[in-house]
Structure 1
Amino acid sequence: MTPTMNTVAAFLARHVLVCMMLAASTAGRAGDFLVDPIRLEMSPTSRSGVITVRNEGKEKLSFQMQAMEWTQDAEGRDTYTQTQDLVFFPRLMSVEAGDEGVIRVGARYPSPAREKTYRLFIEELPGAAKPADRKGAQMNVLIRFGAPIFVKPLRTEDRLEIEAVSLARGELSLSAHNLGNQHQVVEGIRLTGFDGQGKEIYAITLADRYLLAGSTKRYSTSVPHEQCVKLARLEIEFKTDKLTRNGKLEVGRAMCS
């Protein structure tokens, strides 16, 4: 049976919600295992850390680990490259049902001028199938979880600017530039529109997760035409875990068509 567009959309919405919940939590559940914490922060005084993987299932689970340097390109998209900057052990691990495995992680090069960012990927490996499991068709979903690793500079600086705010043909876009030397966790981008009398007639909050040091990311959304033509101004509140920045755009009807 071919899934409907509504079914596909619902699946994607649930997937995005799970990712957002993991990003906001101190511990994250992935499949039948729990990762705690879901991110590590290292500093000149704390150059190592521990990640615990707990098997919440009923069968033994096996994992392999891989460290990747994490950057964001000119469009703000996440990119990953192999790195030797992190020392971690073990690289392969099996965890019995109800038990825990420990991954120890350290940084080779502490105290960078700008925060260094990595992900330690914890990838579930396929297990040996039992004879009873081989009857009939089946699908095994293996989870790959990327725990963020942040190696912080000796002195941190938080600076962020909202740039290039525009509205054309009803499409609102803006860019945010992280001018500081450490990452920002984006908690929400609140867009509020007012008519000529100052009455709020439009509001939406855009979601995101990480804006890495030195990176610029573009955000966009469509403003419904019936609301757009009534707008006199748009106000922007860009809120992260460390700071809040505000912006404003005066709106004319020509921007909506």
Structure 2
Amino acid sequence: MTRTRIFLRTIAAIVACGSFTPGTGSISAALSAPTDTGAGLNISPLRIEIESTQSGATVLVANRATRALPVQTRLFEWTQEGGEDVYAPSTALTISPSIISIPAGETQIVRLIRKSPATAGEKRYRLIVDQLPDPTLAHSGTAEARIRFNVPVFIDRDKAVPESLAWAIGPDGLTVTNSGGATAKIVRIDAKKANGAPIELQRNSLRYVMGGSMISWPVANACSLGPVTITVQMDGRTVDATPRTTCN
């Protein structure tokens, strides 16, 4: 049976975990002060990696609100098509528990458990943690603030061929192609002309490029810029590169 592929859309307040921390994440998500609004969830870590020798991982979901919060956790397969992220429901990992009510001030442990042995190559998923609506708080004309966490999950990354990035600039703007096997996390890019003048890149925020994928950043009049140099903040390090031109 063909699974429906979907793009996850923002329907409430969203925290795209991993999108603001350049490192791999640790059990250190900042805890907010107690709140009556209900939007008092925190989770850690902000990025999950299950190596080939590990049977699973744990996630801490903390409720800093002053009332119990219902929460649902789901796993999605994470791929890229045409440079865009695509998610499809997955059962590759057992998630326990998947639906919970976390008492005020309490922290729930959620376990992600393998269903199959490790294999060569990196597998990518997203763990979606949603605060569910509380029907007891439903009021006509009132919207309940809710949180969604979207956490990257990498399995068997230690068995993947390292990333191998090739940069180019042309009619489609700035592009990067990853011919390796591991996903690269690109936090920010600073681009300059030969005279040192900065170049504005659209969508210049955290993005991932998977092995065998290409992503792009639109650039106005890219083929008229001449030689371009870039400084890339990625995976906790800084890389300087000179994109090749693909302009005719």
Quote the Cα distance in structure 1 between the aligned partners of 2:62 and 2:154: 22
Instruction: Output one character per residue of 1:173-197: Cα deviation in whole Å (capped at 9) or x when no partner.
Output: 1221122221111022221112xxx
| Paired residues of 1:160 and 1:176 also in contact (CA < 8 A) | no
Map 1:57-96 onto structure 2 (within 5 A). 57-73=65-81, 75-96=82-103
User: Conserved in 2, the CA contact under 8 Å of 1:111 and 1:154?
Assistant: no
Partner of 1:146: 150
What displacement does 1:126 show?
A: 1.3
Counting only pairs closer than 5 Å after superposition, residues 92-107 of structure 1 correspond to structure 2 as 92-107=99-114
Query: 1: CA distance between counterparts of 2:141 and 2:117?
Result: 50
What is the Cα deviation at residue 137 of structure 1?
3.0
Contact between 1:42 and 1:151, CA under 8 Å: does it hold in 2? yes
Q: Which structure is larger by alpha-carbon Rg, 1 or 2?
A: 1
How far apart in 2 are the matches of 1:86 and 1:138? 37
Q: Assess, with a 3 A threshold, how the Cα gap between structure 1 residues 215 and 56 changes in structure 2: closer, same or farther.
A: same
| 3-state secondary structure, aligned to 1:146 | strand
| Count of aligned positions | 223
SS of equivalent to 1:129:
helix
1:141-220 equivalence runs, <5 A? 141-166=145-170, 173-194=173-194, 199-204=195-200, 206-220=204-218
Amino acid at match of 2:218: S
Distance 1:23 1:48, change over 3 A: farther
Match of 2:126 in 1: 119
Residue type of the alignment partner of 2:156: K
In structure 1, how many angstroms separate the alpha carbons of the residues matched to 2:169 and 2:31?
A: 37
- What is the CA–CA distance in structure 1 between the aligned matches of 2:213 and 2:119, rounded to whole Å? 17
Verify the 8 A CA contact 1:111 1:153 in the aligned structure 2: no
- Cα distance, 1:129 vs. partner? 2.1
Q: Using the alignment, how far apart are the partners of 1:106 and 1:28 within structure 2?
A: 25
Alignment partners' CA distance in 2, 1:81 and 1:149: 14
Contact 1:23 1:209 (C-alpha < 8 Å) held by counterparts: no
> Amino acid of the residue matched to residue 196 of structure 2?
E
The unaligned stretches of length 5 or more in structure 2 are 1-12, 33-38
Q: 1:36 aligns with which of 33, 36, 44?
A: 44
What's the CA shift for 1:110?
4.0
Q: 1 CA distance for matches of 2:135 and 2:226?
A: 63
SS at match of 1:222: coil
Instruction: Report the AA paired with residue 101 of structure 1.
Output: Q
Deviation per CA, 1:84-134, whole angstroms, max 9, x where unpaired? 21111001111111111110002223433220011121111111425xx74
Contact 2:121 2:156 in 1 (8 A): yes
- 2:242 corresponding residue in structure 1: 247
- Name the aligned partner's letter for residue 53 of structure 2: T
Q: TM-score, normalised by structure 1?
A: 0.73
Q: Structure 1 residues 156 and 57, CA, compared in 2 at 3 Å: closer, same or farther?
A: same
